[in-house]
Amino acid sequence: MFAGLFVPVWWVWRGFAWYASGFGTGDRMTQAALCLGMVGVAALASGVDGAAHGDSDVFVASYASLLVILAALYARGALRQRGARRLAAMQVAGYGIGATLWLASLGLDEDLRPVVWTAAMLLLIAVPVALLRQPAHAFRAEHIADRYGVFTIIVLGDRSS
């Protein structure tokens, strides 16, 4: 159960980290979207307990909303960075379809929802894997390494002291 709920949380975090590395501009629109994303993450966190105990509506709706925010951010990135347009467009499609699948799961019984979530997560994971073959990468490796380090410290704690 833990992994089934942790993977989506981690995946949306990595989506925002990779977006910030490749397309984040720090302008007001990006800042507003990231603040909205923080509200979505708070809602997502508040829905974890319900999702673990058979009431996943809040978890699903907040997760889908975060995917929509990511799709919108990447759509904006596609318009602003001509050289990374294909990469961003694939992210838009992946996040958009992923959000649709997560929302569609709300129409199913609780015990069937994880099947749709699994399919959605496989799609969401497949997009960046497919993008590895892209000749143009919009991301800064040092920024990504730093973000993953911070995430590890948040999840596991700092054991260096």
Would you state the pLDDT for residue 116?
Answer: 96
| 3-state helix/strand/coil string of 97-131 | HHHHHHHHHHHCCCCCHHHHHHHHHHHHHHHHHHH
What is the reported pLDDT for 71?
97
Contact by Cβ (8 Å): 116, 108 = yes
pLDDT tens digits, one per residue of 96-145: 999 999 999 999 999 999 999 999 999 999 998 887 776 555 666 666 66
The C-alpha angle 128, 131, 135, rounded to 5 degrees, equals 150
Instruction: Please report, as a single letter, which amino acid is at residue 104.
Output: A
Report whether 90 contacts 131 (CB < 8 A). yes
The least confident of 55-59, 60-64, 156-160 is 156-160
Half-sphere exposure of 100 (CA within 13 A, CB side): 8
Domain regions of the chain by residue span: 2-156
